[in-house]
Amino acid sequence: MLFYIEILKKYFIFEIILTVMLFYIHFINILITILNNSTLYIKYNLNYNNLYYIIY
């Protein structure tokens, strides 16, 4: 049982890191979009959203 909890903790930490990374990428893209004011990066943002939904 303890072993199982340890695995769960590791998996949970990994999920948090993954989520933070995805949001960070998304946030950077939004900043670039605001700075460049182009539609190209909005498309990338949508792609990252889709990626996020595929992973979860």
Residues in the chain: 56
Neighbours of 19 (CB within 10 A): 13
Q: Which of the pair, 42 or 56, is modelled with greater confidence?
A: 42
Q: Which pLDDT value is given to residue 28?
A: 80
pTM of the model: 0.41
Domain ranges in the chain? 2-55
For the cut 50, the answer to whether the pLDDT of residue 54 exceeds it is no
Q: What percent of the chain has pLDDT over 90?
A: 0
Q: Which of the pair, 9 or 40, is modelled with greater confidence?
A: 9
Supply the mean pLDDT for the chain: 69
Q: How far apart are CA 56 and CA 51, in angstroms?
A: 9
For the cut 50, the answer to whether the pLDDT of residue 32 exceeds it is yes
